[in-house]
Chains A and B, each alone.
Chain A
Amino acid sequence: MFEVFVDALAYSDVLILLSIGITLTYMTVKVPNFTHGDYASLGAYIAFTINLFYGIHPFLSIPIVFILAGLLSFIFYLFIFRPLSERGANLVTLMVTSIALELILRSLINIYADIMSLKTKIPIFRGFIFQDYLINIGIFLLPFSTIVATVTAVLIVSLLYLFLNKTKFGIAMRASIENPDLAKVLGINVDLVYSISWFIAGGLAGIVGVFIPYRITANPQVGWDLLLRGFAASVLGGLSSIYGAIIGGAVIGFAEIVGIYLLSQPPINLPIAYRPSIPYLTLIITLLIIPKGITGIDFSKIKRKIVGGRNGNN
Chain B
Amino acid sequence: MYLLEAKNISAGYGKLQILFNIDFFVNDKELVVIIGPNGSGKSTFLKTLFGLTKIYSGNIIFRGINITRLKPYERARIGLAYLPQTNNSFENLTVKENLLMSMYGISEDIAEKRLEEILLFLPKIKDFMNRKVKTLSGGERQMVAMAMALIRQPNLIMLDEPTAALAPKLALEFLNKIVELKELYGMSVVLVEQNAKKALEIGDRAYVFVAGKSIFSGKTEELLRDKHLMQTYLGLS
In contact, A172 and B88 (Cβ under 8 angstroms): no
| Chain A contacts for B104, CB-based, 8 A | 168, 172, 186-188
A182-219 interface bits toward B, Cβ cutoff 8 Å, 1 = contact, 0 = none: 11111111100000000000000000000000000000
In contact, A185 and B50 (Cβ under 8 angstroms): yes
In contact, A184 and B100 (Cβ under 8 angstroms): no
The contact of B14 among A88, A171, A181, by CB within 8 Å, is A88
A168 to B71 CA separation, bound complex (whole angstroms): 21
Instruction: Known contacts A184-B52, A187-B76; decide if A175 and B82 are in contact (CB<8 Å).
Output: no
A189 to B77 CA separation, bound complex (whole angstroms): 10
Instruction: Known contacts A168-B100, A175-B101; decide if A184 and B93 are in contact (CB<8 Å).
Output: no
A154 to B107 CA separation, bound complex (whole angstroms): 33
The contact of A178 among B52, B81, B92, B102, by CB within 8 Å, is B92
A186 to B93 CA separation, bound complex (whole angstroms): 14
| Chain A contacts for B88, CB-based, 8 A | 182
In contact, A175 and B52 (Cβ under 8 angstroms): no
| Chain B contacts for A292, CB-based, 8 A | none
In contact, B77 and A171 (Cβ under 8 angstroms): no
In contact, A183 and B101 (Cβ under 8 angstroms): yes
How many A-B pairs with Cβ below 8 Å?
A: 69
A85 to B18 CA separation, bound complex (whole angstroms): 22
B233 interface contact, C-beta 8 A: no
Interface size class of B (residues with CB under 8 A): 20 to 34
**Looking at chain A's contact residues, is the secondary structure mostly helix, strand, loop, or mixed?**
helix
| Chain A contacts for B82, CB-based, 8 A | 185
B97 interface contact, C-beta 8 A: yes
**Looking at chain B's contact residues, is the secondary structure mostly helix, strand, loop, or mixed?**
loop
Say how far A164's CB is from chain B's closest CB, in angstroms. Answer: 11
A175 to B96 CA separation, bound complex (whole angstroms): 13
| Chain B contacts for A189, CB-based, 8 A | 71, 73
| Chain B contacts for A183, CB-based, 8 A | 73, 90, 101
A313 interface contact, C-beta 8 A: no
Instruction: Known contacts A168-B104, A184-B72, A187-B73; decide if A178 and B84 are in contact (CB<8 Å).
Output: no
B58-94 interface bits toward A, Cβ cutoff 8 Å, 1 = contact, 0 = none: 0000000000000111011100011010011111110
For A190, the closest partner residue in chain B by CB is B73
A283 to B51 CA separation, bound complex (whole angstroms): 42
A172 to B90 CA separation, bound complex (whole angstroms): 10
A179 interface contact, C-beta 8 A: yes
Say how far B211's CB is from chain A's closest CB, in angstroms. Answer: 25
| Chain A contacts for B92, CB-based, 8 A | 174, 178
B4 interface contact, C-beta 8 A: no
B190 interface contact, C-beta 8 A: no
Say how far A244's CB is from chain B's closest CB, in angstroms. Answer: 13
In contact, B90 and A178 (Cβ under 8 angstroms): yes
B143-175 interface bits toward A, Cβ cutoff 8 Å, 1 = contact, 0 = none: 000001000100000000000000000000000
In contact, B91 and A178 (Cβ under 8 angstroms): yes
| Chain A contacts for B90, CB-based, 8 A | 174-175, 178-179, 182-183
| Chain B contacts for A175, CB-based, 8 A | 90, 93, 97-98, 101
B164-193 interface bits toward A, Cβ cutoff 8 Å, 1 = contact, 0 = none: 000000000000000000000000000000
In contact, B84 and A171 (Cβ under 8 angstroms): no
In contact, B101 and A186 (Cβ under 8 angstroms): yes
| Chain B contacts for A88, CB-based, 8 A | 14
For A183, the closest partner residue in chain B by CB is B101
**What are the 7 closest A-B residue pairs judged by CB atoms, nearest first?**
A187-B76, A184-B72, A185-B82, A175-B90, A175-B101, A188-B104, A187-B104
**Listed A/B pairs (9) with beta-carbon separation below 8 Å:** A171-B100, A172-B101, A175-B93, A175-B97, A175-B101, A178-B90, A182-B84, A185-B72, A187-B102
Given A171-B100, A183-B90, A185-B81, 9 more A-B residue pairs with CB atoms under 8 Å apart are: A172-B104, A174-B92, A178-B93, A179-B87, A181-B72, A184-B71, A185-B52, A185-B82, A189-B71
